[in-house]
Structure formats: C-alpha cells, structure tokens
Structure 1
Amino acid sequence: MAEINAYEGPAEAGFGDYVALLKPRVMSLVVFTALAGLVVAPVSMNPFVAFCCILFIAIGGGASGAMNMWYDADIDAKMRRTQTRPIPAGLIQGREALGLGIALSVLSVMMLGLAANWFAAGFLAFTIFFYVVIYTMWLKRLTPQNIVIGGAAGSFPPMVGWACATGGISIESLLMFALIFFWTPPHFWALALFTKADYSDAGVPMLTVTHGRTSARRHIFAYTLVLAPFALWLGVTSVGGPLYMGVAVVLNVLFIHGGWKILRRDDAAAEADGYKVERQFFKLSLYYTFLHFLALMVQHWVGGW
C-alpha cells in the first residue's frame, strides 16, 4: 500500500487544494453522464430532488478521487503530470485525504438513499468501492488490462442517474454504460502513447509499457470498432432518435478514422512530429462522450423516434 505522507514544509493547503483532491475534471464527467442518465429516464423527477441526486453523486465521485489520491501518492510523485497534486506536493497529508474520502463516501451514499432510493444509493456505494478497491488498489498496479476492467467504475454514473429516477436498470442504461466502458481504453491508451515514460517511471503496467506502443495502437483501433455498434444501438432504443443517431454516426466515423490513422503509424513517425496524430485523437476522445450524452439529452427534450 502507498505510504501515508507526513506534512512537511511551510506550505499550507488552500480551498483550491481540497477541490483538486476531489479530481474535479473526472468529477465533471461523472456529473454530466449521471445527469444524462437521470434526464433521459422515462420517470420524471422533482427538479430539486434531481439536483440533490446529482449533487450527492458528485460528492461520491469526489470521495473516490480523494481516496485514489491517498493510495496513489507514491506513484503520483514519480509522474510529471501528477507531481503537483496536493499530496505529493506536500500540501495535504495522506491521512487527511483518506479521512475526507471516507466521510464524503458515507455522506453521499446515505443522502442519495434518502433523496432518491436505496437501490441507487447501493449502486453509488458499489461504484465507489469498485474505483477505490478493485481499480486503484488491485488492478492498476497488477495488469495491463487495468484500464479495461477498472474503466467500469467510470461507466456506472449514467446507470446511477437512471436508477435515481427509475429505481432499477434497463437496456438503455446498460448501453450508456457500454458507451463509456468501451470508450475508456482507447482514450487512456492514446494518452499513454505520448506519456509512456510517466507510467514506466511509476511502475504502472500500462499496455504501452508492458506490450509496447505497437500493441497499444492495435488495441486502440480494435476498441473503436467495438465501440461504434453500442453507440449506434443506443440510438434505436427509447432514448434515441434521429438527432442522436446523426451525432453518433459522425462521431464514430471520426473515431474509427482516428484509430486507423494511429494504427498506421510507427514510433519513428510519431516521435518525429511530437505525437501529433495521437494527441489529436486524444482530444477527439474528450469530445466523444460529452457530445454523445449531450445529444441524448437534447434528443429527449425535442422528442425521439
């Protein structure tokens, strides 16, 4: 287990450091996809109750981030893109992050149960457990499939949002899960292509480290092909419609084309242009999920099939 850092130095943590501890960028994806799941569900909710549900889901996501940073403090200190996080930077003690994460986890689950239903609350609790224990503590340092299996944690929020409204699951919520689940590996492997040294230095068995960049390129393209049918399938369910389908077709053509361009590259060409194609694909992947779920919500408001 990662060492719990002791506070050293004169630096003092500010409010922004505690916000950073909750991984706000990751939390924003959690909130947005959970909101989409709640909005497109066939059962309407009181706007205030819906707001409270999203707030508690966000708090649960932040709790996961805090506990992830506590456990990963040792490897965060070795990676350039994570060295400035609050714990390795010496601004917040590891035990503080752990305590905050546990407290927020309990608060978010209990309050979601009271605001919505206990099925949704249990789902949120499982999501937190999966991210912290299954992914962070077990898979991340064990296998190059870490991001594949562990990516499920980031795929649950739209199902939690759906469960808040309906009290259960459905084919629609499962397909929203699949959309994020199969998007996650190519998204992170594209990042790993131009940050391989970070994962190698930290001893994280990312696919680019264990099997090389060529293997990662093949996997990225394969996952874009697997992902597309699920994205389109969602478009012919009760939450889909012509607007969503049009967006999904365009985005998946672009995503597959981007994966193909990466597949045709070799390390020499990538290094020569500073991994331009890989960086473009990674940027596209950031818009991919956002635009799919935005299209789902707009489709819901304008009416579907």
Structure 2
Amino acid sequence: MSDTSLDCTTRTGEAGFGDYYALLKPRVMSLVVFTALVGLLVAPVSVHPMIGFASILFIAIGGGASGALNMWWDADIDRIMRRTKGRPIPTGKVTEEEAFAIGMTLSVMSVVMLGLAANWIAAGLLAFTIFFYVVVYTMWLKRWTPQNIVIGGAAGAFPPMIGWAVATGGVSVESVLMFLITFMWTPPHFWALALFMKSDYDDAGVPMLTVTHGRKVTRVHILVYTLLLAPITIGIGVTSIGGPIYMVTAVLLNLWFIKGAIDIWRRDEAMAEGDNYRVERAFFKVSLLYLFLHFGALLVEAGLRTFGFGGW
C-alpha cells in the first residue's frame, strides 16, 4: 500500500451511507451471506431462527470488514484500475484511515458476537477467514505471485464451512466439499475476468496469470481448473446433503461450464479481440450462475428433506 501520495487521505466530498456501504463490497458480501446460509441450512442440526439470523448477520459483517480492509490496503492500485477507480477511497469519499478503522472495528465485533451467538468454532473460522483474506491474500499473495487468486480464493470459500459450524459446532466432509466448490471455482472465474479486463492488472503491477505467463497459458489454466472442479461438485451429490435434484443440476452445469472453458481454450487473442472477448465475458457470467445454482440445488434438497423427500 502506498503511503506517500498526498491524495491518499484527501476527502473530495462528503461521504454518504452508500459510500460506506460500498466500502464493505456488497456484491462479495452477498455471496458470503448466501453460501454461509446454505451451509447453515443444509447441516443435519437445526438452529433456532434467531440464532441463525444473528449468525448470518455477523458473518456478513465479517465479510464486509474484510472488504473494507482490502480497500484500505489496495487504495493505491484501486486508483489505477478501471474496474476499481470508482470505489469510495479512490474517489475521495472515504479516507484510508476511516476504512481501516471501520474494517478493524467490524472485524472484532463480528467475531466476538458470532462466538457469543453461536459457538467459538464458527467464530474462529470467521476470524481466520478475515485474516486470510486481508493478510495472506491482500497484503502478501496478491502482489507477489500469479497464484494469488488460487491460494487466496480460500478466503471466499470458507463461508459455507462457517455456516455449517454454526449449526454443528464442527467441520465435516460435506462442509469441506462445499469449501472446495468455491475454492476451485474462483481461479477460472477471475482468470476469465482478467482476460477481458486487458491492461488493468498490467497497469497496476498485479502479477495476475495473464500478466506473468500470458493469455494462452491462462486459457489452458481455465480449462484445467474447470475440469478439476467438475468431480468435486458432482461428488457432493452422493453425500448426505446431495440428492437427485442436485446431481442432475451439477451434471448439466458442469457440461455447460466445461464447454465454455473449451471454447476459451480454443481461442487466440486475435479471435478474442475481434469480437470484444465475447466468449470470455459469457463464461464469466455463466460462472456466477454456476456457483449460485449449485448452492441453490443444495438448498432445495435440504428443503425437500425437511418434508420427508429428497436425498437418495
């Protein structure tokens, strides 16, 4: 993080609620909330609605705290990248000091309150998630290695494990597999974004795979990770939280996703630039649907089991 530029802490306008809300990365937070909620609801142990609501709220706050600390540390490169230059700190709506204070306060509060509301295993997982995203990924991996998004993706994969731990007080094969879905999904998802964002990562000096190894290698990696992801998602279908509806969903989604990865692998830069990265953009959009529908299918199976249906 740069601390030498004069505009780091200069406020150019009065911050509103929307600016502070944007500091928490609401889109990322929504994914955290959804996957954590699925982890909680598919667990074999029921949770009192008030405890469940409070737990998801504190998990969401912890996710938002991570986002605020990420923006605090990455303020220098956020000012450079087209995708991020409209964030609250680059636009001068929120200062770096404010972002740090908000992030740290919400981090401590979310972990302590989750421990009190649910259990300390879940709170410990939330604390580790915040630490991993802010320190391991943001401060270390992101600017050091092209494997940043591979290893750093673990931070976004923990929420279903936390939700499961809220209900069960522990970790199981099912929660680990839910973790692995997001963990293995993250690299092809972000590498597709890196392909059509073009110069953003070069300009910011972030060693994304497209920068360090080139676009051709990135296309191969997208295909490899997509192929490795498929057996993990399908494997969940034979566990206690799977079932026929989930299995059909997983098979169809993986066929769709693999086809998209193959289409990307077959392209070169001339083809991609010729149609403004149409295939890469489509794959990125499909990847969002891919993750949502997998977890959504698990939720449907859990609902059916509640009424004596579902499962194998």
CA distance in 1, matches of 2:222, 2:215: 10
Task: Tell me which residue corresponds to 1:23.
Answer: 25
Which secondary structure state, in structure 2, belongs to the residue aligned with residue 154 of structure 1?
helix
Query: Secondary structure at 1:209's aligned position in 2?
Result: helix
Q: Which residue of 1 aligns with 2:308?
A: none
Residues in 2 aligned to 1:239 and 1:8: alpha-carbon distance in whole angstroms:
49
- CA offset at residue 209 of structure 1? 0.6
In structure 2, the residue matched to 1:3 is 3
1:6 partner letter: T
SS of structure 2 residue aligned to 1:194: helix
Secondary structure of 1:124 counterpart: helix
- Which residue of the other structure, out of 262, 286, 289, is the alignment partner of 1:287? 289
What are the superposed Cα offsets for residues 145-182 of structure 1, whole Å, 9 maximum, x if unpaired?
Answer: 00000000000000000000001000000000010000
How do residues 101-112 of structure 1 correspond to structure 2 at under 5 angstroms?
Answer: 101-112=103-114
1:13-92 correspondence runs (5 A)? 13-92=15-94
Ranges of 4+ aligned residues in structure 1 off by more than 6 Å: none
Q: How far is 1:75 from its partner? A: 0.2
Could you tell me whether the CA contact under 8 Å between 1:190 and 1:220 is conserved in 2? Answer: yes
TM-score by length of 2: 0.96
Map 1:201-220; keep pairs closer than 5 Å: 201-220=203-222
Q: For the aligned residues, what is the CA RMSD?
A: 0.8
Q: Secondary structure at the match of 1:221?
A: helix
| 1:6 CA displacement | 1.2
The letter for the 2-side match of 1:98 is F
Q: Deviations over 1:36-79 (max 9, x none)?
A: 00000000000111000000000000000000000000000000
Q: For 1:26 and 1:157, how far apart are their aligned partners in 2?
A: 11
Q: Quick one: distance in 2 between partners of 1:91 and 1:8?
A: 6
Counterpart of 1:121 in structure 2 is 123
* Counterpart contact for 2:11–2:94, Cα < 8 Å: no
The CA deviation at 1:8 is: 3.5
Whole-angstrom distance in 1 between the partners of 2:18 and 2:232: 38
1:179-258 paired onto structure 2 within 5 Å = 179-258=181-260
Per-residue CA distance 1:220-269 (angstroms, 9 max, x = gap): 00001000000000010000000000110010000101000000000000
Unaligned runs of 5+ in 2: 306-310
Query: Which string of whole-angstrom CA distances, capped at 9 and with x for unpartnered residues, describes residues 5-31 of structure 1?
Result: 21233x111000000000000000000
Matched residue type, 1:56? F
Alignment check: 8 A CA contact 1:3 1:73 kept: no
Asked whether the 8 Å contact 1:193–1:208 carries over to 2, the reply is: yes
* One-letter code aligned to 1:7: T
Aligned AA for 1:34? A
- 2:257 maps to a residue whose letter is F
Aligned ranges 1:152-163 → 2 under 5 Å: 152-163=154-165
Corresponding residue of 1:271: 273
- Could you tell me how far 1:88 is from its partner in structure 2? 0.6
Taking the aligned partners of 1:215 and 1:283, their CA distance within structure 2 comes to 21
Amino acid at match of 1:94: E
AA matched with 1:45: V
